[in-house]
Chain A
Amino acid sequence: MAMKNRISLLVFAVMAMFALSVQAASKEWLHIHVDDKNKEEKVRVNIPLSLMETMLPMIEDEAIKDGNIELNDRNVKISELKKMWKSFKDEGDAEFLSVEKKGENVRVFTSGNFLMVQSYKTTEGNVNIKIPLAAVDAMLSGSGNELNLAAGVKALKDSGVRELITVEADNSKVLVWIDDRNIAK
Chain B
Amino acid sequence: MLKIIAITLTGVMVLICMMTFYAFQTGIAVINVNDKVHSKRVFVPVPVGLMNLGLSMIPGEMLSQVNQELGPHRKVVQSLANELENMPDTDFVEVQGKDQHVLISKNGRNLIIDVQTPEETVYISVPIRATGNIVSKLASMSDRN
Contact = CB atoms under 8 A, between A and B. Distances in A.
B92 A41 contact: no
A44 B97 CA distance: 12
A32 to B, nearest CB: 9
B95 A51 contact: no
Interface stretch (A53-61, A68-76, A91-99, A134-142): A53-61
Interface string A23-66: 01001000000000001111111111011001101100100000
Contacts of B96: 41-44
B115 interface: no
Contacts, number: 53
A42 B95 contact: yes
Contact of A58 (B73, B91, B98): B73
Interface of A: 24, 27, 39-48, 50-51, 54-55, 57-58, 61, 182-183
A43 B90 contact: no
Interface string B52-87: 000000000000000000001100100110011001
Q: List the 9 shortest-distance A-B pairs measured between CB atoms, nearest first.
A: A44-B94, A42-B96, A40-B98, A182-B90, A58-B76, A54-B79, A51-B83, A41-B97, A43-B95
B88 interface: yes
A41 B94 contact: no
Binding site secondary structure of chain B: mixed
Nearest to A53: B83
B88 A182 contact: yes
Given A41-B96, A42-B95, A58-B76, A51 B88 contact: no
Nearest to B99: A40
Contact of A54 (B72, B76, B90, B95): B76
Contact of A57 (B76, B87, B90, B92): B76
A39 B97 contact: yes
Contacts of A41: 95-98
A50 B73 CA distance: 17
Sort chain B's interface into a size bin: 10 to 19
A46 B87 CA distance: 12
A58 B83 CA distance: 15
Contact of A50 (B83, B93, B94): B83
B95 to A, nearest CB: 5
A157 B91 CA distance: 21
A9 to B, nearest CB: 23
A94 to B, nearest CB: 38
Given A41-B97, A46-B93, A182-B87, 5 more contacts: A43-B93, A46-B90, A54-B76, A182-B88, A183-B90
Contacts of A39: 97-98
Contacts of A42: 94-96
Contacts of A48: 83, 87
10 contacts: A40-B97, A43-B96, A44-B95, A45-B92, A46-B91, A46-B92, A48-B87, A51-B80, A58-B73, A183-B90
